[in-house]
Chain A
Amino acid sequence: DTGVSQDPRHKITKRGQNVTFRCDPISEHNRLYWYRQTLGQGPEFLTYFQNEAQLEKSRLLSDRFSAERPKGSFSTLEIQRTEQGDSAMYLCAIQGSSETQYFGPGTRLLVL
C-alpha cells in the first residue's frame, strides 16, 4: 500500500464524453503528480501540484484536460470531449522523502 488511492479504477466511456478521476493521498503530502501511461511505454508526466498550486503542466495536457487540488489534499483530473487517443492508464503519485514518488493503483481509461 503506497498510501494513495485512485477512483475509479476502470472507466469505459464513449468518445466525446467527459470523465473525471480522483486521487486521494492517505496523509498530507506537499507534492502530487499526475502521469499518463500507454501500452508499452513508461509513464509520461502531465502536471504537478505543490499544495493547492498547480506549478507545471506538460505539453501533453491539452486544453481538454484540467486538474485541481482545491485544498491541497485530494486531486481531480478531468478530460473533456474524450478522444480515443486518451485511452491510457492515468497515474497519481505523491512525493515522499528523498524525492521518491509513490504511485497509486491508477485509473485505466478506455474511450470507445
Chain B
Amino acid sequence: QKEVEQNSGPLSVPEGAIASLNCTYSDRGSQSFFWYRQYSGKSPELIMFIYSNGDKEDGRFTAQLNKASQYVSLLIRDSQPSDSATYLCAVGWGNTGKLIFGQGTTLQVKP
C-alpha cells in the first residue's frame, strides 16, 4: 500500500460543474494535509491546507478531512477551464515536516 494514494484520472468535468478529488493516506498519526495544483511543466502551487476534521473553504475550493477514514478531498465549485491541471495531495510526515505526495489526479474542465 502506498503512503498517499490518489486516482490518476483523468477526471473530466464540464465547465461550471463541481470537481471532486480524493486522496487516502496510510499513517493514522498524520496531522497536516495539503493540496497542490500543478500545471504542465510548472512546479506545484499550494492551494489549500487542512489540519482538523471537517471542511475548510477558500473561495471556490473546499478541503474536507476525515481522519477516522484517513481520507482527504478537494472540491472545486464552478470549475473553469483554467482549473485544468494536476492536483497533488500531500501529507505531512513525522516531525520533520517533509511531505509525502500522491501521484496526482489530472483534472480536465471542458468548456
Name A residues whose Cβ lies closer than 8 Å to a Cβ of B.
Answer: 2, 31, 33, 35, 40-45, 48, 55-56, 89, 91, 93, 95, 98-106
Contacts and interface: CB of A to CB of B under 8 A. Distances in A.
B7 to A, nearest CB: 13
Contacts of B45: 2, 103
A45 B98 contact: yes
A32 B33 CA distance: 18
Interface in B1-26: 4, 8
A42 B43 contact: no
Nearest to A105: B43
Given A41-B103, A100-B49, A48 B43 contact: no
Interface residues of B, number: 25
Nearest to B31: A99
A88 B99 CA distance: 18
Contacts of B42: 105-106
Contacts of B101: 42-44
Interface string B30-70: 00101010000011111001010000000000000000000
Interface string B80-111: 00000000101011001111111110000000
Given A43-B101, A104-B43, 19 more contacts: A2-B45, A33-B97, A33-B99, A40-B103, A42-B88, A43-B99, A44-B101, A45-B99, A48-B98, A89-B43, A98-B32, A98-B49, A99-B49, A99-B92, A99-B97, A103-B43, A103-B46, A105-B43, A106-B43
**Majority SS of interface residues in chain B?**
strand
A42 B8 CA distance: 10
A93 B41 CA distance: 17
Contacts of A40: 8, 103-104
A103 B44 contact: yes
A101 B97 contact: yes
A101 B46 contact: yes
A101 B36 CA distance: 10
B45 to A, nearest CB: 7
A33 B93 CA distance: 13
